[in-house]
Amino acid sequence: MNETKITSRQIISLTAGVTTAGSVLVIGALIASTAKQDAWIGSFLAILFGIPVIWVFLFLGRRFPRMTFVEISRELLGKWLGTVVAGSFLFLCLQISFHTPWFMSDFMTSQVMPETPHYVIRALYIAAMSIAILYGLEAFARASEIFMLVVSVLFVFVMVMVIPNAKIENLLPVFENGLIPVLKSSVFVTCFIALPNITMMMVYPARLDDLNKGEKSFLKGYFLGGGITCISILMSVLVLGWAITANSRFSVFRFANLINVGIVFSRIEVIVFVVWVLTQFIFCTIYFYAFVIGLSQLLKLKNHKRLVLPLALILLTMSEVIFPDVAYQEHWAVFTWIPYIFTHGFVLPVFLLMVYWIKKRVLKMDIGDNRGQK
């Protein structure tokens, strides 16, 4: 398992997929209702606010270049406390692994395939993730390169085609409601584009073949995914206005409906559907992979693939019952997800960073890999 290696280019595609997936369609309404026509400003500020978060991930990876996040937690906090912290992190990964199939089935049955049963979509989605993990990280990472290339091309095409429908007056007046709503919305966006990258610590840098290029690749992937998110929010406000965006569950999908150039370019919203499916697949597979690998490390199993099938059955069962309806899911996304991911994506890594600093600088303990330090 430890011999698996991926390239720095694949780190870009994986990070971009994790950054983009949870945000392209679902957060437009949340931040538009908060910052109104200034929602696009909050999204761009979120990229800047996320940089210190990414720096913490990179710092821990630099100090422990051969360890995953589970191993780093146990190294810094000891066997018992480290196991508790790692277990909490893995529970987050497990939750996202069965939340995302629910999101996918809800989106597809409400927007694209209304006559298809939910459980069929969820079963196919979980089966695809399981197959990807059984084939191995290297195969999935290579596939993610192709996925993100397709996503980037299709996204640019959609944004260019929708420009004629954009109205600059939808952005005015700027800062009508002050700076506070903008900052609040930026915090929301950060919880969707930066903090979820904590799961990349199960891949980076322990599975990276070239540590020297790893940090730049991580940042490139983050900026690529963040840029896609910001542009999608900007275009939603430009085309639909903040009021319609705030009341639309899938604002990007909605404004893509407006694209109709003769008989050649119509039904462009299907492209948005493809973009979201591909990025969500990268996102959820990485979380499922993190859970499988982390659990096998805690249990000290030699072959993590034995866990895939039983865990896939758990995902299928839980994805059927996790959210009773859309209203419950939207309430969870606002009042549960934000403090939940803030705790695991920011508070926990910073806590580990402080423990490292105390042990290394104050207690003068020999901890971490000196060859990974600068």
The per-residue pLDDT for range 67-89, each reduced to its tens digit, is 999 999 999 999 899 999 999 99
**Helix 211-240 with 28-35: angle, nearest 10 deg:** 60
Going by pLDDT thresholds of 50, 70 and 90, the confidence category of residue 200 is very high
Non-local CB neighbours of 117 within 8 Å, separated by 6+ positions: none
> What's the mean pLDDT in 27-45?
89
Q: What six digits make up the tokens of 119?
A: 């459980």
Phi, psi for residue 203 in degrees, rounded to 5: -115, -45
pLDDT single digits (tens) 117-170: 988 999 999 999 999 999 999 999 999 999 999 999 988 988 888 888 889 999
Orientation angle between helical segments 137-162 and 269-299, nearest 10 degrees: 150
pLDDT at 112 over 90: no
Q: Which CATH number fits domain 8-372: 1.10.4160.10, 3.50.50.60, 3.40.50.410, 3.30.930.10?
A: 1.10.4160.10
Specify the pLDDT at position 260: 63
Residue 59 has pLDDT above 90, yes or no: yes
CB 102 within 8 A of CB 121: no
- Distance from the Cα of residue 266 to its chain's centroid: 30
Do residues 88 and 105 lie in contact, with contact meaning Cβ atoms separated by under 8 Å? Answer: no
Do the Cβ atoms of 241 and 234 come closer than 8 Å? no
Q: Would you state the structure tokens that stand for residue 11, as one six-digit string?
A: 């780190």
Tokens linked to 73:
């937690």
Helices marked H in the chain — which ranges? Answer: 8-21, 28-35, 39-63, 69-77, 79-107, 118-135, 137-162, 180-193, 211-240, 242-246, 251-256, 269-299, 308-321, 326-335, 337-342, 348-357
Percent of the chain with pLDDT over 90: 51
183 — alpha (psi -120 to 50), left (phi > 0) or beta?
A: alpha
pLDDT of the residue at 138 = 92
Tell me how crowded residue 350 is: count the other CB atoms within 10 A of its CB: 14
**373 falls in which pLDDT band (50, 70, 90)?**
very low
pLDDT at 24 (0 to 100): 66
Determine phi and psi for 76, rounding to 5 degrees: -85, -35
Q: Is it the case that residue 261 has pLDDT exceeding 70?
A: no
Closest CA to 20 of 252, 263, 275, 213: 275
d(CA 285, CA 304): 15
At 194, list the tokens.
């930066």
Domain boundaries, the chain: 8-372
> How many Å apart are CA 225 and CA 47, to the nearest integer?
10
348, 89 in Cβ contact below 8 A? yes
CB contact set of 317 (below 8 Å; sequence gap of 6+): none
pLDDT at position 267 over 80: no
**Within 10 Å of residue 253's Cβ, how many Cβ atoms?**
22
Quick one: pLDDT at residue 186? 92
Residue type, 57: F
Tokens (6 digits) for 166: 């954009």
